[in-house]
Amino acid sequence: MSTTDDNTNDVSPEEAEETTEETPEESSQPDYDSSGDEEECHCSGPGLPILFFIIGFVAMLIFGWFIFPEFLYCKIKQPIDFNHVLHMEEVDKGCESCHFFREDGTFAGVPKNAQCIKCHAEVQGDDPDELEFVEKYISNGVEVPWLSYSRQPDCVFFSHAAHVKLANMDCAECHGPMGESTSLKVYEKNWLSQYSRDIWGKSVLNMLNMKQHTWERMKMYDCAVCHMEKTGRETSVQTAKDGCFVCHK
Amino acid sequence: MKEGHHHRKEKKFGMVIDLDKCTGCGACMVACMAENNVPFKQNETDKLDSITWMRVYKFDNGKKFPDTEVCFLPRPCMHCEGQSGHSGHSPCVSVCPATATDYDTDSGIVSQIYTRCFGCRYCMAACPYHARHFNWWDPVWPEGMEKALSPNVSPRMRGVVEKCSFCFHRYQLAMDEIYAKGHRDFDEKVPEYQTACTQACPTDAIVFGDLNNPNHEVNQIVKPDHNHRLTGKSGNPKVFRLLERLETNPKVYYLSSREWVRRAGDNYQGEETPENYKVKEVHH
């Protein structure tokens, strides 16, 4: 307030009439200028807020793509740690020695005790997993509750015969190099949908569509893309693609 | 591989139901319910709510005793083809906003994908045969029955429409067998698949098969009229379809030697009969 008083006193009476209305503005201007100088000093340009935004954005992406998905899945260990490499050396028909087609064309999937008992009626080696398998499951006649990584939802019909026998596809094309694994990976089950993470895929792959191999994600989109490319069938009236009932049931 | 798939002949699965043989026993309805995991309620008195993919209707000739005659008519989904051949312009497919129901030109089957359906029920309004049903509730199975459900048919949830699929899951399994045996198509060694209702019928009133296959019984009974190849009209004067004048071109045919039964298939006015209506179509 003292500055306004000083200004009005300095001005002559003639000028005073013209300037009295302006004086409040003039008087307040130095206040505005000084405060503006202070902001520039503290922030040093618009770069810092953008930097903070980028840091926050990247942090959120990392959280959303890598950390949060971990909370969506519960990790379950397979009941027995199975060594595919060890067994592949013993059998002569590759994957189909244990994962075979039944006579009616359906696929047997994960082997039952009936297939294992031929060799494992008694303990073969000194592996603790084999010991547990024989004592806990074979001896008691209880099936092993294996967790199937590639199990599709109830509404999906997947024909192994059409893919393996008709289209001559390799098992590894959809299941990955399972035959080369020496131990079973941890099964990740989605808390909400109860489906395996092998179906949903990794979140980053979903967002950026960076899928490299067939087995990284097996959702409907992935089936549809391959069907469109490979079969080229246009039997669906609605979509001009492969019919819906080919895979749905 | 692209060409390999295409050389397989296009199929047109259809059905002929002999109404003179049908006794109305309802075995087809029961077989269908069990085969396709069709949900039911404890109280089924309200038939507007009940879901029956296959329903047997009863009607008579309207005459008094002793001239009364009764006919039972089993009604599955007609799998309408629509006009102009495989256009698939069936009433339900053309109105579905969700692409939940679709016409497959490979098999001629109208599919219903439950996980895509969002329950608007346009298809139910469009279907002139009342072949579609809505799930007003989630299915509740009596204790222990869940273990008896078929794993080949996915159970439906509340809020979706369902209907007869011509036991499509059996077609899928049949194709599995064909591929596993190194074949490409149905032949003498791998016979065509059958629906549950066909197999359950004690009087063999239902015949199911590929209408495009001239060696199949269903083709020999229907005798598709080559002048009407696109409309699917039958060349057999005893064969008729329901509401033929709507030109929905159903693939379910009915067979009866009784004229009043054939006449009941549509609202024929005055002098019109199923036969002379067909004659009109020739000059159409």
Closest-CA distance of chain A to residue B97, Å: 10
The span from the CA of B119 to the CA of B3, in Å, is 38
Best CA proximity match to B134, nearest among B113, B109, B114, B159: B159
Reported confidence tier of residue B221, pLDDT bands at 50, 70, 90 = very high
pLDDT of residue B225: 75
Q: Which two tokens stand for residue A167?
A: 């289209």
Chain position carrying tokens 């993919």? B53
Report which residue type is found at B4: G
Contact B182 A165 (CB under 8 A): yes
Q: Which two tokens stand for residue B189?
A: 């060694």
Report which residue type is found at A173: E
Q: With 80 as the cut, is the pLDDT of residue B265 above it? A: yes
pLDDT of residue A214: 83
Nearest to A238 among B99, B109, B179 (CB): B99
B1 interaction partners in chain A (CB closer than 8 Å) = 167, 230-231
Residue B147 has what DSSP assignment? G
Residue B14 has what DSSP assignment? E
The residue with greater pLDDT, A5 or B40, is B40
Contact yes or no for B167/A245 (Cβ under 8 A) = no
CA distances from A200 to A60, A197, A211, A248, B116 (A): 21, 5, 12, 18, 18
Closest-CA distance of chain B to residue A111, Å: 19
Reported confidence tier of residue A16, pLDDT bands at 50, 70, 90 = very low
When mean pLDDT is compared across B61-65, B184-188, B277-281, the lowest value belongs to B277-281
Q: Which two tokens stand for residue A239?
A: 């979509």
Contact B152 A249 (CB under 8 A): yes
Reported confidence tier of residue B7, pLDDT bands at 50, 70, 90 = low
Contact B96 A161 (CB under 8 A): no
ipTM of this complex: 0.82
pLDDT of residue B8: 66
The residue with greater pLDDT, B35 or A124, is B35
The span from the CA of A202 to the CA of A195, in Å, is 13
Nearest to A248 among B86, B89, B113 (CB): B113
Closest-CA distance of chain B to residue A151, Å: 13
Reported confidence tier of residue A239, pLDDT bands at 50, 70, 90 = confident
The span from the CA of B180 to the CA of B183, in Å, is 7
Reported confidence tier of residue A1, pLDDT bands at 50, 70, 90 = very low
Q: With 70 as the cut, is the pLDDT of residue A11 above it? A: no
Question: Residue range B122-135: average pLDDT?
Answer: 95
pTM: 0.82
Residue B99 CB contacts under 8 Å (≥ 6 apart), including other chains: A238, A239, A244, B113, B116
Best CA proximity match to A244, nearest among A167, A152, A157: A157
Reported confidence tier of residue A8, pLDDT bands at 50, 70, 90 = very low
B11 interaction partners in chain A (CB closer than 8 Å) = none
Q: What kind and span of H or E run contains B102?
A: strand B101-104
What residue in A sits closest to B114 (Cα-Cα)?
A155
Question: Residue range A111-127: average pLDDT?
Answer: 87
Closest-CA distance of chain B to residue A239, Å: 8
Q: With 80 as the cut, is the pLDDT of residue B243 above it? A: yes
B154 touches chain A (CB under 8 A): yes
Q: With 50 as the cut, is the pLDDT of residue A200 above it? A: yes
Q: With 80 as the cut, is the pLDDT of residue B277 above it? A: no
Contact yes or no for B252/B243 (Cβ under 8 A) = no
- Class of the B9-36+50-282 domain? alpha beta
What residue in B sits closest to A249 (Cα-Cα)?
B153
Q: What end-to-end distance do the CA atoms of chain A give, in Å?
A: 84
CA distances from A43 to A38, A39, A40, A47, A48 (A): 9, 6, 6, 8, 7
Question: Average pLDDT of chain A?
Answer: 81
Best CA proximity match to B77, nearest among B248, B282, B256: B248
Question: Residue range B42-57: average pLDDT?
Answer: 91
Contact B102 A238 (CB under 8 A): yes
Q: Which residues pair with B172 in a beta bridge?
A: none
Contact A105 B179 (CB under 8 A): yes
Q: Is A33 helix (H, G, I), strand (E, B) or coil?
A: helix
The span from the CA of A219 to the CA of A205, in Å, is 12
B105 touches chain A (CB under 8 A): yes
pLDDT of residue B273: 76
Best CA proximity match to B37, nearest among B141, B182, B188: B141
Locate all alpha helices (DSSP H) within chain B, ordered by sequence: 2-6, 27-35, 91-95, 122-126, 168-180, 196-200, 217-222, 259-263, 274-282
pLDDT of residue B187: 74
Query: Which residues of chain A have a Cβ shorter than 8 Å from any chain B Cβ?
Result: 101, 104-106, 153-155, 157, 159-162, 165-167, 230-233, 235-239, 243-246, 248-249
Q: Is the dihedral of CA A164, A168, A172, A173 positive or negative?
A: negative
Question: Residue range A24-53: average pLDDT?
Answer: 60
Question: Residue range B239-264: average pLDDT?
Answer: 91
pLDDT of residue B231: 73
Q: With 60 as the cut, is the pLDDT of residue B214 above it? A: yes
B275 touches chain A (CB under 8 A): no
pLDDT of residue A203: 65
Question: Residue range B16-40: average pLDDT?
Answer: 95
The residue with greater pLDDT, B233 or A51, is A51
* B66: preceding bond cis by omega (within 30 degrees): yes
B96 touches chain A (CB under 8 A): yes
Contact B2 A231 (CB under 8 A): yes
Contact A235 B104 (CB under 8 A): yes
Query: Mutate which of A230, A241, A245, A247 to test chain B, going by most B C-beta atoms within 10 A?
Result: A245
Chain position carrying tokens 């199923």? B274
What residue in B sits closest to A234 (Cα-Cα)?
B105
Half-sphere exposure of B168 toward its Cβ, with a 13 Å CA cutoff?
Answer: 29
* Gyration radius from chain B CA atoms: 19
pLDDT of residue A225: 87
Q: Which two tokens stand for residue B212?
A: 């495009």
Q: With 50 as the cut, is the pLDDT of residue B280 above it? A: no
The span from the CA of B223 to the CA of B36, in Å, is 30
Q: What kind and span of H or E run contains B58?
A: strand B55-60
Contact yes or no for B36/B197 (Cβ under 8 A) = no
Residue A106 CB contacts under 8 Å (≥ 6 apart), including other chains: A160, A161, B173, B176
Strands B13-18 and B252-255: parallel
Q: With 50 as the cut, is the pLDDT of residue A177 above it? A: yes
Helix A23-43, helix A2-10: angle, nearest 10: 130
Q: Is A248 helix (H, G, I), strand (E, B) or coil?
A: strand
B225 touches chain A (CB under 8 A): no
Contact B173 A167 (CB under 8 A): no
